[in-house]
Amino acid sequence: MKIFNTLTRHKDEFIPINEGKVGIYVCGPTVYDYIHIGNARPMIVFDTLRRYLEYRGYDVNYVSNFTDVDDKIIKKANEEGVPASVISERFIAECKKDMEGLNVREATTHPKATEEIDDMIKMIETLISKDYAYEVDGTVYFKTRKFKDYGKLSKKNIDDLRSGFRDLKVSGEEEKEDTLDFVLWKPKKEGEPFWESPWGEGRPGWHLECSVMSKKYIGDVIDIHAGGEDLIFPHHENEIAQSEAANDAEFARYWMHNGFLKINNEKMSKSLGNFFTVREIGEKYDLQVIRFFMLSAHYRSPLNFSDDLVESAKNALERIRTATSRLEEIIEKTQNENITDEEKERLSDIDTFIKKYDDAMDDDLNTADAISVIFELVKYSNTNVNETSSKEFATKILDTIVTLCDVLGIKAKVEAELLDEEIEKLIEERQAARKNKDFARADEIRNSLLEQGIILEDTREGVRWKRA
């Protein structure tokens, strides 16, 4: 398998540190609100990477964090008059619901920043002892220029940089030894959560969190570090600097970054009115369609989200599901149990499709080409399987389509459709749950229906529903 490595700027043969095992760290969301459609892309892409590596026989340790202490979380907590932990725990739970809807599997470990503070303090102490960091009035800064390889990931020249990036500044630039130095620890402000440290009460810098959590749950050296391309600088660059300075080891062997997502060819922003959460998108589309749409383009390519393109993805996914439904029907009805000699010869065709699929995925996770192979297999199925085919041959093709889709996290089989009366009964149960203020159960019912293609609309006249 070859991976386009952001560090080297070309496709490198993937060779794990330990044979048969892969450690992947993916930067997770800051949990102050529902995740947006831009957050969904790296979640889907790197979940697919994990699935493919497991399909190829690797034991994958997949770590993706939750940033559960941050200025935005604190701001929302203060607005609601609740502790910051109430906000973060609420939206971690909501994030997991959306991930489930997108068929993103739970990470091996989902560490939370607030549970790893002791190790963060230890890494800062190590950096200070090695003269890579210094403290000024309760703030600890990293000496950026002292790290000789700074800029190796982003290819930025340190002399051309300014400190205008996200460094969690807590006071004026005058206290820094160098304007490029970034924060490792910041002192508390009134109304903020804080932890005890050798430098006073405060909390860690954003960049430090991932360095510490990846070290604890994977080790000093990560096989693959991944995230959106907006994190290359300064976040990932700063992670490299502080980790390699502290650990005296390479931080990550391979760096993977997904491209930006645009909405109708414009950058997503609340001011433009084109900012959509996954939850909002899920009101309109089956989230399986969104996953299929995301994987229909190469992960490094910019991706444009529009209703027309998503409708096209919906129709494409329907073609696959129509083919699998047809195969299931043939398998159920055919009287021919055993494979014929002619069909045995055709089995090599299926092996050819599988190899072509694997070759696409081995080429820097080219899901777009892999999906094209699945459509070739669907066409082959429609042409070569009919009511005279054997159960064994039809089953082999069905299983192959389902397996290849499953690697992509795509559900190729149509779920058994709920009857109208079953839907009405669940809606009644949801209404009763809301009346009893059991909002967790109400949300659970809504999400369950959504997964089965049933969209609910709360109106003044009551609840209306429709099939997606």
**pLDDT for 275:** 86
SS3 363: strand
Q: Is residue 264 a part of any domain in this protein?
A: no
Query: What band does 464 get if pLDDT is binned at 50, 70 and 90?
Result: confident
On whether both 215 and 97 belong to a single domain, the answer is yes
On whether both 105 and 140 belong to a single domain, the answer is yes
**pLDDT for 216:** 98
249 CB neighbour count, 10 Å cutoff: 11
On whether both 214 and 347 belong to a single domain, the answer is no
On whether both 217 and 297 belong to a single domain, the answer is no
On whether both 70 and 147 belong to a single domain, the answer is yes
Q: List the one residue out of 294, 360, 301 whose CA is nearest residue 1.
A: 360
**pLDDT for 100:** 95
End position of a domain, from candidates 366, 381, 407:
407
On whether both 125 and 9 belong to a single domain, the answer is yes
Q: Is residue 412 a part of any domain in this protein?
A: no
Alpha-carbon distance of 232 to 228, in angstroms, equals 8
On whether both 102 and 128 belong to a single domain, the answer is yes
- DSSP labels for 282-316? HHHS-HHHHHHHHHTS-TTS-EEE-HHHHHHHHHH
460 CB neighbour count, 10 Å cutoff: 4
C-alpha separations of 195 from 102, 114, 122, 234, 276 in Å: 35, 9, 13, 25, 35
On whether both 42 and 130 belong to a single domain, the answer is yes
C-alpha separations of 20 from 17, 45, 361 in Å: 9, 21, 18
Which is it for strands 202-204 and 222-228: parallel, antiparallel or unpaired?
A: unpaired
Whether residue 160 is predicted with pLDDT greater than 90 in this model: the reply is no
End position of a domain, from candidates 407, 434, 451:
407
Whether residue 165 is predicted with pLDDT greater than 60 in this model: the reply is no
On whether both 66 and 195 belong to a single domain, the answer is yes
Number of compact structural domains in the chain = 3
On whether both 386 and 431 belong to a single domain, the answer is no
Whether residue 416 is predicted with pLDDT greater than 80 in this model: the reply is no
Where residue 368 sits, what CATH number does that domain have? Answer: 1.10.730.10
Query: What band does 357 get if pLDDT is binned at 50, 70 and 90?
Result: very high
Q: Is residue 16 a part of any domain in this protein?
A: yes
Show the DSSP H helices in 218-271 as ranges: 237-247
Kindly report whether the global pTM for this prediction surpasses the value 0.95.
no
On whether both 57 and 170 belong to a single domain, the answer is yes
Q: Is residue 272 a part of any domain in this protein?
A: no
Where residue 91 sits, what CATH number does that domain have? Answer: 3.40.50.620
Q: List the one residue out of 246, 41, 226 whose CA is nearest residue 142.
A: 246
Query: What band does 452 get if pLDDT is binned at 50, 70 and 90?
Result: confident
Beta bridge partners of 376: none
CB burial string 361-377: b at 16+ within 10 A, e below:
bbbbbbbeebbebbeeb
Alpha-carbon distance of 309 to 290, in angstroms, equals 10
The domain in which residue 352 lies consists of 278-407
Q: Is residue 263 a part of any domain in this protein?
A: no
| Span 53-81, average pLDDT | 97
**pLDDT for 164:** 44
| Span 10-32, average pLDDT | 97
441 or 20, which is more confident: 20
Among 172-181, 208-217, 277-286, 379-388, which stretch is predicted with the lowest mean pLDDT?
Answer: 172-181
Q: What is the mean pLDDT of the chain?
A: 93
| Span 219-237, average pLDDT | 97
Q: Is residue 273 a part of any domain in this protein?
A: no
Is the separation of the CB atoms in 60 and 105 below 8 Å? no
Q: Is residue 413 a part of any domain in this protein?
A: no
**pLDDT for 272:** 83
421 or 361, which is more confident: 361
On whether both 354 and 382 belong to a single domain, the answer is yes
Q: Is residue 26 a part of any domain in this protein?
A: yes
